[in-house]
Amino acid sequence: MWYPTMVNFFFNSLSDDASSKSFCQRVVGNITVAAEGANNTCTDTHLSPNTIYSGLAIGVAFACLNLVASSVATWRRLVLTASLVVAAVSLVLVDLMTNPIASMILFTLIQITAIGIGSVASYFVDLYPTAYRALVTSLGLTMGRLVSWGGVNLLGNAIVDYCSITFYGWAVFACSGIIASLLLPPDKRPGLSN
């Protein structure tokens, strides 16, 4: 949810300053400048064209990633674990990079956890008896949405004052997901009987 706003702040900071700053310094610097401004009227005059290009690029990239993930869907634990590993590494490195292109790529790769949602939902079908599958899937996805909603609100409140710590905290959260994914049952291969 915060992706377009943070990307726009990031790209607007590139035009203001050519010095090497971290991702958080660029985004938070623009947020605090925007908050201190006297003009509270909502206008779209500060929308960077790079923000739109970035949105188009992430749409195409994730469409391709979804196609790749669906072609290797029989290895769902691997898909889930790999997406969480990429997100965790990106979360740790996003604020350490001072190269703007590398920072933006890493920030975009944080969103890769969305690839693993289908894998998580498929485990609901495997782990619970037929009579409870619909209920468990519904509750699992609803819980995921509630946690996402809470995370979005937490991120919105914490990003200005605790930007780096927020990314490192989410990295710990992604690492806990990696550990949980390693505890899932092994993938069933088509044609093999259990």
Predicted confidence (pLDDT) per residue in 71-108, tens digit:
888 888 999 999 999 999 999 999 898 888 888 889 98
Question: What is the pLDDT, as a whole number, of residue 180?
Answer: 92
Mean pLDDT of 183-187: 84
Mean pLDDT of 118-129: 81
Q: What percent of the chain has pLDDT over 90?
A: 19
pLDDT band at 171 (very low <50, low <70, confident <90, very high): very high
Q: What is the reported pTM?
A: 0.80
Q: Distance (Å, rounded) from C-alpha 37 to C-alpha 43?
A: 13
Radius of gyration of the chain (CA): 19
Half-sphere exposure of 61 (CA within 13 A, CB side): 13
Q: Assess whether pLDDT exceeds 80 at residue 164.
A: yes
In this structure, what token pair is assigned to residue 55? 């949105």
Q: Distance (Å, rounded) from C-alpha 116 to C-alpha 84?
A: 8
Closest CA to 112 of 147, 64, 74: 64
H or E element: which one contains 89? helix 76-93
pLDDT (tens digit, 9 = 90+) per residue, 14-43? 765 556 888 888 888 766 544 555 555 655
Query: Collapsing DSSP states into helix, strand and coil, what is residue 141?
Result: helix
Question: What is the pLDDT, as a whole number, of residue 179?
Answer: 95
Mean pLDDT of 154-160: 80
